[in-house]
Amino acid sequence: MIDQLDELYREVILDHFKNPHRKGELAGAQIKVDGANPLCGDELTFYLTMSNGTIGQARFTGKGCAISQAAASMFAEQIEGKTPAEVTRLIEAMKALMQGHEPDPSIDLGDLESLAGVRKFPVRVKCAALSWNVVEQGLRG
């Protein structure tokens, strides 16, 4: 499926998959939450530290397909320094993107924008969405 993605998107996704950012356990994380996408066999655990109402550090561990692991790398990177409310807005933007809508242009998606191509493959949307579903659950407590 990754071969069918647009060239630009594919390169960014493969780069995050091969050289994941923010990967590893995080000692002292106040939030640790995990989830799975059984349809594909993707598993992710997110670790977050909170300070002064914002996310300090975000790390993840897990295994699964390139989309799920690359999305986790991009998402972990993008949520650091954000408040839970800002993360919620980012998640809304990603859900819009996955549904083929234009996300709120005031929200910086960073490399997450490269996941736009995934919406052409509905089964894979669940792989990409695992990251934000897990973090959403973690922030809800």
- Cβ 82 to Zn ion, closest distance in Å? 25
Does residue 125 belong to the site contacting Zn ion (CB under 5 A)? Answer: no
Q: Does 1 engage in binding with Zn ion (CB under 5 A)?
A: no
Sheet containing strand 31-37, edge to edge, reads 31-37, 42-51, 54-63
C-alpha–C-alpha distance, residues 136 and 43, integer Å: 15
Mark residues 25-54: x for contact with Zn ion by CB under 5 A, - for none.
Answer: ---------------x-x------------
Stretch that binds Zn ion, among 58-66, 69-77, 86-94, 114-122 (CB under 5 A): 58-66
